[in-house]
Structure 1
């Protein structure tokens, strides 16, 4: 049985993934944005191997999340599930970054770099990432007028590129990206066409399955099938430039092989 850490797991897809893994006998470490959110986990809290707390908009709290996970022990897999959708303004995190960038891109990068290396990494993206090319020209939205849809698309392209960059750098780790579809969650809304069970299935399968089909790396998945992502995400030069820029923005370096 595997031990799996899931970010953003107090509700929605993260919680559904946690429940699925627990039902299959795996050990799960949950993540809550705040103590108040953790208190709302109810009976789920009694079933898990641990709960870590930290707001991923804050780089300091994201580092603390990594420390808390490492204190529990080495994970077999990490599912980078936490994310925010379109926000009306750029906002400003404690470090001055755009909120969407901080949660959707910087946080998974920091956690990837600082959590003891697991055997598998799964990053949640979106089919909308295909509209996010060209982000390196103004990664943090300091020069452009704010465009919520574009910012979201860029962040989801960046996380696919991060998954693929890690697959290249760490050949001993299975690193993949997943588009769960438009799911009926608080973020997706009640009219979304995909149910929670379908939405969580691919990422939990990639995190723990011993099936040969799941033991691949550097792939982009949608509903248990591999798909072709945006060309920029697969470009090694873009990946390397992105990793370098994220290192500059966070002060955290991504270790090599």
Structure 2
């Protein structure tokens, strides 16, 4: 039995993951972006231990969420599931003047990883579209490029893989992986207890060739640190 925190667990895959993990006897803490979604999350999974509220498009709210999570005690696993899709035809800016997709999909997992006490396992929900991501990390905030919602989403999914692999390289005591399902959170399979993998339907899959590049991983970490003001702990 483990303690698991899932971001973005009021609907979709996060809600389903919570239900499966709770049914398997795990203690699950949910997350939602506002009060209404928190109510929805608890209605869907009434046996969850609690639900934490924060809008992950806001740096300050994401930092506060990390503090709330730490106040609950140590987690065995954290599933970074929260995200927005690629239907944003126009660039939407957050309160911090960041692209909405980047703030939620890319920066918030970085912040929560940096600020929540290290769990035994970190799982970053990605997508096969990460292979279409721009590994150069050029113009990360779309300040000069013409906005393309699909590309911004693909980039963010690539960022999730870069972060997962960067953590795997730097935090050797944590099993950090990226995937397209939630099996990694609780399985005792020897394969998933390792780190630095990318999985789909319980099988390892190929990743963007630059995802394993340590220099690019570090560049992403450094840019997130500069943008947020939060340093990544060694």
- Tell me, yes or no, whether TM beats 0.5: yes
C-alpha separation in 2, matches of 1:42 and 1:30: 8
Residue by residue over 1:165-205, the C-alpha shift from the partner in whole angstroms, topping out at 9 and shown as x without a partner, is 00000000000001x2xxxxxxxxxxxxxxxxxxxxx42x2
Aligned to 1:223: 201
CA shift, 1:213, in A, is 2.1
C-alpha separation in 2, matches of 1:250 and 1:138: 16
Verify the 8 A CA contact 1:50 1:72 in the aligned structure 2: no
C-alpha separation in 2, matches of 1:241 and 1:38: 35
Structure 1: which 4+ aligned runs deviate by more than 3 Å?
A: 42-46
Aligned to 1:194: none
Verify the 8 A CA contact 2:30 2:41 in the aligned structure 1: no
* Aligned partner of residue 46 in structure 1, secondary structure: coil
The alignment status of 1:16 with 2:16, answered yes or no, reads yes
C-alpha separation in 1, matches of 2:11 and 2:142: 29
Matches within 5 A, 1:1-257: 1-44=1-44, 46-86=46-86, 87-178=88-179, 180=180, 202-203=181-182, 205-256=183-234
TM-score where L is the length of structure 1: 0.88
Verify the 8 A CA contact 1:32 1:52 in the aligned structure 2: yes
* Aligned partner of residue 40 in structure 1, secondary structure: helix
C-alpha separation in 2, matches of 1:154 and 1:246: 14
Aligned to 1:190: none
TM-score where L is the length of structure 2: 0.97
List alignment gaps of at least 5 residues for structure 2.
none
Q: How many residues end up aligned between the 2 structures?
A: 233
Verify the 8 A CA contact 2:55 2:62 in the aligned structure 1: yes
